[in-house]
Amino acid sequence: MYQIMSPSAFDDALKERLSLFIKKVAPDVTVSSYEEWGGTEITGPTLMVQWEDAHPGGIQNDGRYQHSQMLTAHCIVPRAHPNAQLLAMDMAYEVERLLFHRRLWIDGQTLLIDPEVVGIPDIQLNGDTSFLIGLAGVAARGVQWQQPLSFGPSLIEPSDLLKWSYSVQEVGDA
């Protein structure tokens, strides 16, 4: 299970999981941060994660403050690559599919993140982002989503009644 307590921990885990799965669509893909694009030469399929605006969220049940973070995964392919536009679309659709119902964070039957920390993503769009990248000679498709994130430890201890109901449920399930 990933211990996600900060934006940087989520970013590391997100790029690791995206890299693992996106290679099924683009085996030679490079996964990096959008902030690195000026210093990165795009020579093959590339996925860049961009952190955009964060919007205030509500207080969670356990007292944590939530941010609704806007993220974009830019899927970039040099136009010299065969079927560049279609490969960029293939990558973007795979990212979107992985975000749907948290498939990115599931290993077998195990959810690898704390659902109190990392909420269910809300996909906003899947579209052409080549104009945002500002690089000539590439096809780019971006998947943008709102990601609820509630960092830090729980601020509320479970009540004795809640603890009791969990223990009764566990005994009943045995």
Instruction: Tell me what pLDDT residue 95 has.
Output: 97
Question: Taking the chain (174 residues) in consecutive chunks of 10 residues, what is each chunk's mean pLDDT?
Answer: 94 97 94 76 92 86 87 96 96 96 93 93 94 84 96 71 47 48
Tell me which residue range forms the domain holding 103.
7-173
Within 8 A by CB and 6+ apart from 94, the residues are: 21, 22, 24, 25
CATH number (domain holding residue 51)? 3.30.2000.30
Residue 84 placed within a domain:
yes
d(CA 32, CA 65) in angstroms, rounded, equals 28
Name the burial class of residue 83, with classes exposed (0-12), middle (13-18) and buried (19+) by CB atoms within 10 angstroms of its CB: exposed
Instruction: Tell me what pLDDT residue 169 has.
Output: 47
CB 118 within 8 A of CB 25: no
3-class SS of residue 69: strand
Residue 82 placed within a domain:
yes
H or E element: which one contains 65? strand 65-78
3-class SS of residue 106: strand
